[in-house]
Amino acid sequence: FLESIVSLLIFYGEKHWQTVWGILQRQTELVDEIIGKLADRVGYRNAGFANKLSEKHIADFYLFISNRFPFEKDPKLNGLVTTRHGISEMRTSLLSNLVNKGTREACMAIEYLADKLPGQRLYIIWRLREAQTNTLRKTWFPPEPQQIIALLQDENRRYVEDDDELLSVVLGSLRRMQADYRGELPVVLRFWNYEGGGNNRSNFRPKDEEDLSDEIAKWLKDDLGPAKGIIVNREVQPRRGQETDIRVDAIRLGSASEEAEILSVVIEVKGCWHKELLTAMKTQLAGRYMKDNNLPSGLYLVGWYKCDKWDNTDYRKSAVPKNTIEELEKILDNEANRLKNSHSFIKQIKPIVLDLSL
């Protein structure tokens, strides 16, 4: 029985992982013997069977072995190589396998281990730097000469290589949107419902959050699309989600590998009257969209409508926080920094408050 379990893991890996993993969880009295036989079979300093496992399952297995055979209890080498020595080396080889994969999924799996194993955190973070370097080496494509020329000709153009850079470009676009909508010929009225026309407009009420999301998605599609050429090496595809979220994907032009070449930023949109305005960055943007979809970069966007022209009979007006727009921006900045520092799956999270007041 034990030999069969070990053989399944060595020769079939991912195909029968759920079977092996289930046995390891249930047959606790056999775990030490299974791990020991596996270490003896794969050989000293070798965990090549991990090539047949996904990044997530390698991380799960490393965490499982680390908890069962703690790092700090590894035996010292004194000339005699035992099964326990083999287990510690196999564990190290599992982490090395992740480091050498050179994928974003591997980096996220290592970040997960750093969070789950505080006693190994410094060592794992050190290995994470190696993994990130390997990922950059395997996924980086140098810019074409015409792309370099385009960048030199227009200071607004950007060459985007990761999600963080894409987030910066999206923020820049939204700041242009803010300036455009509040310029000499303000078009901010499109975010409001009202009665009458011309100088007789009255009873102003903000349009709902879905309309705000639609407007933002349209702006990003136009501003970051191929006609403007803001991003020189990727095609940007903003699209609306099922609620008020927007997902911005950037796909490398001419790429043959979509898995390694798609960058993403998710945007959660809220009106300033929303009852969860101060908590949704954590519960919805980070806790739902980013974590559940493995998206490391997110943007929390608030439409700020607070002004005297807002119809007092609209129940939403009284729900707006008493803060000024500057105070709200500071509160959201602090929350974004707290979330980034406390969650390993978040690479970057930023808030922006668009002033849509009349």
pLDDT in tens, 83-123: 888 888 888 888 998 999 888 889 989 989 988 998 888 89
Measured between alpha carbons, how far is 16 from 18 in angstroms, rounded to an integer? 6
**What is the per-residue pLDDT for 256?**
46
Give the three-state DSSP class for 150: helix
Strand order in the sheet with 262-271: 234-240, 246-252, 262-271, 297-304, 348-355
3-state secondary structure at position 17: helix
Q: What does the pLDDT average to over 164-182?
A: 89
Q: Which of 89, 106, 99, 103 is nearest to 44 (CA)?
A: 89
8 Å CB contact between 326 and 306: no
Residues 131-141: tens digit of each pLDDT: 888 887 776 66
Nearest alpha-carbon partner for 212 in 169, 168, 267, 288: 267
CB-based burial label for 213 (10 Å; 0-12, 13-18, 19+):
buried
- Mean pLDDT (the chain, rounded): 84
